[in-house]
Amino acid sequence: MKITDIQSCIIGREEPHSGGCVWTFVRVYTDAGIVGTGECNSAAAGASGFAVKAAIEAMKPTLIGHDPMDTGPLYELLRRRGRYGGTSAAPLIFAITGIENALYDITGKALGVPVYRLLGGKYRDKIRLYADLHAGEEETPEAYAEKAAEVVGQEGYSAVKFDVDHTGVGKLDPWNWTVGAKEMSHVIALIRATREAIGFDVDLAIDCHGQFDVPSAITLAKAVEDLRLMWLEEPVPAENVDALAQVKASTSTVICSGENQYTRFEFLELLQRQAVDVIMPDLSKAGGIMEGKRIAELADAFYVPMAPHNVSSPLGMMAACHVCASVPNFFVLEFHGREIPWWNDLCEGDKPFIRDGYMHLSERPGIGVELNDEVAKSLLWRGDRYFD
């Protein structure tokens, strides 16, 4: 079997509170008639989406004529050949991730097995999720508590997450990352009200989006120690690993980071410097299905769990689920699509994809989820062209 063509297109809409729901999809075509589809996350919409699309186009000549089942060598070929041009860094690693996912989809289809079989089998049949929640227009403790209780009660999630950056209360300066007394009191009140609403039977994570400086992050982490968070996420920006390690060393609150780190090498740094208690690679960006497994196993050697960041479509999320199923130290996976009305409709597969707070692992060959061409065409991003 040989690769004959590679195409990509960008699909999505900017929905309220959805963060990134604009995704780049890659299709790899073969002379055997098998087509594989992979997804790579384009983060906050279009600009990086078109950069990723251009990168995929530039990588195409390197891949044409190769056996698509050489997933490992082809991944390293793309990464090493372009190393001096940044192929281990964003956004080029996003492009490689999408291509690698499509190659795994082809390999699974050719062998008639789900992707997790290619990764050594599964530790679990269903993947525990946490719901990413937003209170709505009002960033009040009451609104956070009400939303948390409503979603846990009606949808059966065993874990939820809220953001506490940009609450609009007490911010003194738009550029510095210092949290003054008024803002800090408000943030702590939001977290405390949420915990009181859901009790200690449900896990609670809090995301800071790297918006706080070190003293503010330490103050917050210590102030909520008794609330036993599942984690405090990106309490400081992602670029300085030593600063994050300083926050972690200061507190018993669990510290999580990694959605802005890519490949095993950047996670090795996070782990060796003891900067995190939990890692959260975005498996649609971090390098690919096998690179995601490598990252998880690296963390496992440090006795650190993996709780992937995820804002993907059902296709990218199922690809992540194959990785989550295949490693012992999987903890919980993010679900970010609750408020996207067309999230389920975009893809075909074993529906409903999500039931009672879990995503159920596909047993179909390959990734096990396909784009619904009609729906996807109706959601093309900024005039982009669909696959041939």
The interface region with Mg ion, picked from 58-66, 90-98, 171-179, 204-212 by CB under 5 A, is: 204-212
Q: Which is nearer to Mg ion, 114 or 308 (CB)?
A: 308
DSSP 73-134: HHHHHHHHHTGGGTTTSTTHHHHHHHHHHHHHHHHHHHHT-BHHHHTT--S-SEEEEEEE--
Please identify, among the stretches 69-77, 140-148, 187-195, 205-213, the one whose residues bind Mg ion according to the rule CB under 5 A.
205-213
Q: Is 39 in the site for Mg ion (CB under 5 A)?
A: no
Smallest gap from residue 350 Cβ to Mg ion (A): 28
DSSP 20-51: --EEEEEEEEETTS-EEEEEEE-SSSHHHHHH
- State yes or no: residue 163 binds Mg ion (CB under 5 A): no
Q: How far is the CB of 174 from Mg ion (least distance, A)?
A: 21
Nearest CA among 382, 387, 388, 386 for reference residue 49: 382
Q: How many residues bind Mg ion (CB under 5 A)?
A: 1
> Under a CB-based contact definition with an 8 Å cutoff, are residues 55 and 46 in contact?
no
Nearer to Mg ion, 213 or 348 (CB): 213
Nearest approach, Cβ of 74 to Mg ion (angstroms)? 30
Among residues 95, 99, 85, which one has the least CA distance to residue 41?
Answer: 95
Which residue of the chain is nearest Mg ion when measured via CB?
207
Q: Binding to Mg ion by residue 207, rule CB under 5 A? A: yes
C-beta of 132: minimal distance to Mg ion in Å? 8
C-beta closer to Mg ion: residue 37 or 216? 216
Stretch that binds Mg ion, among 79-87, 171-179, 206-214, 326-334 (CB under 5 A): 206-214
Beta strands in the chain (DSSP E): 3-12, 22-30, 35-41, 126-132, 159-163, 203-207, 231-233, 255-257, 278-279, 333-335, 347-348, 354-355, 358-360, 370-371
* Nearest-approach distance from CB 299 to Mg ion, in angstroms: 17
Residues that bind Mg ion (CB under 5 A): 207
